[in-house]
């Protein structure tokens, strides 16, 4: 493969910025460049220095646009691509009315395969290069997901939902079949190319104690796999889950009692937490995942980011398609900003862009591979245009700082602001 050099304004983060003046947290090059070879970044810095190493590389000039690491989405539902923007009341009604009937369709490869391709196109069209997805309960949905990702050489994480109760018969496995199917899928896909498997009990309501026990066995047998589920999204959900597990101290203790909490654990939502749960998350290294557009859409509540961060917890942020209302991580930041504003918390633009790149990579334990423009990392890159719409262009006439430009992208940006997405160095759009 020939080398490719991207020229433009480059931005990469080294740590979470403590404020807009924390220039040590990032590197910004006004005339920057990336040199890519065989899916990796082999040189980065100012254009002149990188060009001197580029030889006969193809040069793609993206000036005056901004080049960053590709976006990372830590909680999505692949089978919900055709129920996004379905009118709903609250979580459990929405699941039963829209989600469960839709997910039943993914037992058929003739449906799952084209949906996987369209799903990944939507992600890259919005600048997302890695996502962590729940597939349906059916193995063909997982096969479709990973096969489509392999075709594009995308670093994607996914897993078969495990659910053996409180769902339609067409969506139920058993404790044993859920274990067997998951184990087979791990052996086939985990660590193959850029694929990663995530063990995925949907949530305590749809998994019996026997299934949760089998999940714990899987977690012990495959300690390098991530685990994902849902936690404390909705107060009715909490009441239902704890009634099903009456010996549990609280909702989180259901998962904790089966040995699932570690730095590999991703817990979608985590809105309504008591002090014991916060302390347990901090001590185990488990990661809550903030899903702002979904939480607002279903009226679930306000994620208390500052409380968790002050306890030493590292939070992810995600779109939560399809209760989430946009594939765009820029729009996810937009709504996240508002959720935090309602709680007198701030989300300045530098921290926001770190969160959807290096920050989410750190949550996944993959910051050595994705989420930055560092030399040696995988060449997942997005090119952004802060003048993509008339309203953005008009605002940019008065923008004077990088932070202001990023905030403009955060609040008004969407797929129209994505000039180009590169996955492992290959253009996707």
Q: What is the pLDDT of residues 77-104, one digit of tens each?
A: 999 998 887 777 776 677 777 788 889 8
Residue 190 pLDDT exceeds 90: yes
Judged by average pLDDT, the poorest of 91-100, 178-187, 216-225, 397-406 is 91-100
Instruction: Show Cβ contacts of residue 180 under 8 Å, excluding neighbours closer than 6 positions.
Output: none
Alpha helices in 175-290 (DSSP H): 175-189, 209-221, 235-244, 251-257, 275-284
Best CATH choice for the domain 71-327 from the list 1.10.10.60, 1.10.220.10, 3.30.70.240, 3.20.20.140: 3.20.20.140
Angle at 278 between CA 276 and CA 257, to 5 degrees: 60
Write the pLDDT tens digit of every residue in 98-144. 788 889 899 999 999 999 999 999 999 999 999 999 999 999 999 99
What confidence category does residue 259 fall into, taking pLDDT thresholds of 50, 70 and 90? very high
CATH tag for 4-70+370-427 (out of 3.40.50.970, 2.30.40.10, 2.40.170.20, 3.90.420.10): 2.30.40.10
Looking at the whole model, is its pTM more than 0.95?
yes
Banded pLDDT at 1 (limits 50, 70, 90): low
Please tell me the predicted confidence (pLDDT) of residue 374: 98
The pLDDT assigned to 84 comes to: 84
CATH 3.20.20.140 location in the chain: 71-327
Residues of the chain with CATH 2.30.40.10: 4-70+370-427
Which tops the pLDDT comparison, 424 or 88?
A: 424
Question: Mean pLDDT, to the nearest integer, of 189-196?
Answer: 98
The DSSP secondary-structure symbol of 79 reads G
The secondary structure element, H or E, covering residue 122 is helix 109-125
Confidence check: pLDDT of 429 > 80 = no
* Structure confidence at residue 102 (pLDDT): 85
Q: Which band of pLDDT confidence, cut at 50, 70 and 90, is reported for residue 241?
A: very high
Q: Each residue of 306-325: pLDDT tens digit?
A: 999 999 999 999 999 989 99
More confident residue, 100 or 55: 55
User: What φ, ψ does residue 35 adopt, rounded to 5°?
Assistant: -110, 125
% helix, strand, coil for the chain, step of 5: 40, 25, 35
Residue 404 has pLDDT above 90, yes or no: yes
Tokens of 286: 């488990």
Question: Percentage of residues in the chain with pLDDT exceeding 90?
Answer: 92
- As a whole number, mean pLDDT of residues 341-357 equals 98
Which has the minimum average pLDDT: 97-111, 162-176, 322-336? 97-111
Which pair of structure tokens corresponds to residue 6? 């991207």
Asked whether residue 76 carries a pLDDT value surpassing 90, the answer given is yes
Which pLDDT band holds residue 186 (cuts at 50, 70, 90)? very high
């Amino acid at each position: 493969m020939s080398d490719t050099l991207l020229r433009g304004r480059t931005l990469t983060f080294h740590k979470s910025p403590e404020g807009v003046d924390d220039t040590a947290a990032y590197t910004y090059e006004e005339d920057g460049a990336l040199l890519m070879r065989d899916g990796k970044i082999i040189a980065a810095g100012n254009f002149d220095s990188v060009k001197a190493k580029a030889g006969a590389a193809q040069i793609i000039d993206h000036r005056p646009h901004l080049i960053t690491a590709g976006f990372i989405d830590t909680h999505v539902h692949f089978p919900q691509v055709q129920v996004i923007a379905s009118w709903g009341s609250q979580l459990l009604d929405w699941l039963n009315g829209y989600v469960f009937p839709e997910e039943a369709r993914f037992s058929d490869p003739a449906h799952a395969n084209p949906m996987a391709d369209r799903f990944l196109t939507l992600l890259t069209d919005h600048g997302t290069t890695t996502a962590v997805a729940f597939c349906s309960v059916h193995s063909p949905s997982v096969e479709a997901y990973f096969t489509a990702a392999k075709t594009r050489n995308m670093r994607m994480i996914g897993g078969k939902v495990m659910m053996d109760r409180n769902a339609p018969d067409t969506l139920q496995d058993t404790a044993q079949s859920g274990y067997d199917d998951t184990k087979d899928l791990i052996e086939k896909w985990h660590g193959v190319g850029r694929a990663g498997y995530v063990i995925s009990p949907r949530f305590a309501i749809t998994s019996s104690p026997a299934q949760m026990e089998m999940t714990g066995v899987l977690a012990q047998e495959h300690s390098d796999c991530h685990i994902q589920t849902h936690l404390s999204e909705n107060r009715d959900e909490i009441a239902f889950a704890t009634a099903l597990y009456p010996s549990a101290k609280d909702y989180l203790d259901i998962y904790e009692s089966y040995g699932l909490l570690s730095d590999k654990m991703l817990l979608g939502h985590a809105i309504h937490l008591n002090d014991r749960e916060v302390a347990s998350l901090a001590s185990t290294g488990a990661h809550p995942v903030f899903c702002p557009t979904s939480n607002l859409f279903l009226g679930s509540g306000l994620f208390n980011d500052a409380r968790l961060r002050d306890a030493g917890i590292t939070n992810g942020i995600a779109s939560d398609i399809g209760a989430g209302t946009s594939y765009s991580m820029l729009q996810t930041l937009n709504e996240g900003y508002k959720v935090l504003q309602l709680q007198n918390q701030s989300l300045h633009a530098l921290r926001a862009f770190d969160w959807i790149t290096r920050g989410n990579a750190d949550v996944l334990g993959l910051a050595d591979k994705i989420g930055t423009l560092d030399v040696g990392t995988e060449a997942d890159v997005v090119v952004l245009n802060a003048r993509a719409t008339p309203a953005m262009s008009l605002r940019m006439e008065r923008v004077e700082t990088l932070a202001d430009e990023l905030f403009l992208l955060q609040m008004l940006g969407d797929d129209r602001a994505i000039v180009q997405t590169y996955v492992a160095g290959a253009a996707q759009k």
